[in-house]
Structure 1
Amino acid sequence: MDQESIVYGCIKDGSPLMGNAERIRINREAMLSLPHADEWPFLSQEMFSIPQIEMPTSSYQTEVMHFGASYKAVEYEWDQWIAQFESLLSRMYWVSATVHLETELSGTHTFTWESQSSYHKPGSGDMRVRCEWSHEGSLSF
């Protein structure tokens, strides 16, 4: 049986110093710059909930952009996935980002990016990442 990996999470933006529409436009352009899923990238446009500029936001203060995808054993290429995700984050406004990696053999890993200031702005490079691992269930013999 193939080893399936599930990756999902969200990017949160709530930077107060720029108008909401401008932040949404910049973040939207960053996600739309990703390739389409049929080109087999680690990240694709189709895996993201890309915000619409024309629609009024239904959020209170925080714009939440969620994403998710299923892969065949992506944990063996996780460094490449992380590099592409951090490249995307570098072009966006955000306060925090969380990625959950669920694997059949090694459990669940949660990666959290936080800005070193009150929010990350494109090109600033002020990211730090933290990883937590949990494994649920037991081995049966």
Structure 2
Amino acid sequence: MDQESLVYGVVRAVSSTDRFESLHFRQTNRNAILALGQHDEFPYLTADMFRLPGIHEEQGTYVTPLIQFAGSYRAVEYEWERWLTKFERLLVSMYWRSATVHLETELNGHHVFSWTCHGDHHVPGSQVMQVHCEWEHELGL
């Protein structure tokens, strides 16, 4: 069997006490994810990988709307830069506070990538993001 890589994580979206502003944030994020479509070239990043919160406040969201995603790939680490480029392109088009991606590989261990923005939250179109990576690798005897 080939090497399986798991990619999963969460985008911590933005909410607002203003009902219309909050609706705008949610709709913008929803549109950005749905624009990914259902088909993509490897390493794929598609709308089907995401669980979107509802447009209106709902159970499961106390303050922060969470957008979860996950995918299983064949050795995605060899095309990881391309996957990251696609993910960051998505982040540029959304409202969010932070994002975390976990990459689990059979040969290269577990990597955690975290994105933060300057200020209170990221505004679509802004390119200012910071990414941090941590790597965990267990060695067997």
State the TM-score, normalizing by the size of structure 2.
Answer: 0.90
What does residue 5 of structure 1 align with? Answer: 5
Contact 2:7 2:70 in 1 (8 A): yes
After TM superposition, give the deviation of residue 21 of structure 1 in Å.
Answer: 1.0
What does residue 102 of structure 1 align with? Answer: 104
Q: In structure 1, how many angstroms separate the alpha carbons of the residues matched to 2:107 and 2:76?
A: 12
Unpaired runs of 5+ residues, structure 2, are none
Q: In structure 2, how many angstroms separate the alpha carbons of the residues matched to 1:33 and 1:14?
A: 19
What does residue 70 of structure 2 align with? Answer: 68
What does residue 58 of structure 2 align with? Answer: 57
AA aligned opposite 2:57 = P
State the TM-score, normalizing by the size of structure 1.
Answer: 0.90
Q: In structure 2, how many angstroms separate the alpha carbons of the residues matched to 1:121 and 1:56?
A: 21
AA aligned opposite 1:66 = Q
Instruction: Point out the more displaced range, 42-51 or 60-69.
Output: 42-51
Q: In structure 2, how many angstroms separate the alpha carbons of the residues matched to 1:88 and 1:17?
A: 25
Pick closer, same or farther for the CA change 1:9–1:85 going to 2, 3 Å: same
Contact 1:117 1:126 in 2 (8 A): no
What does residue 25 of structure 1 align with? Answer: 27
Matches within 5 A, 1:74-89: 74-89=76-91
Q: In structure 2, how many angstroms separate the alpha carbons of the residues matched to 1:14 and 1:60?
A: 12
Give the superposed CA RMSD. 1.6
What does residue 140 of structure 2 align with? Answer: 139
Q: In structure 1, how many angstroms separate the alpha carbons of the residues matched to 2:17 and 2:115?
A: 20
Secondary structure of residue in 2 paired with 1:62:
coil
Secondary structure of residue in 1 paired with 2:78:
helix
Q: In structure 2, how many angstroms separate the alpha carbons of the residues matched to 1:4 and 1:122?
A: 33
Contact 2:15 2:63 in 1 (8 A): no
AA aligned opposite 2:9 = G
Secondary structure of residue in 2 paired with 1:124:
coil
Identity %: 46
2:44 is equivalent to residue 35 of structure 1 = no
Contact 1:101 1:109 in 2 (8 A): yes
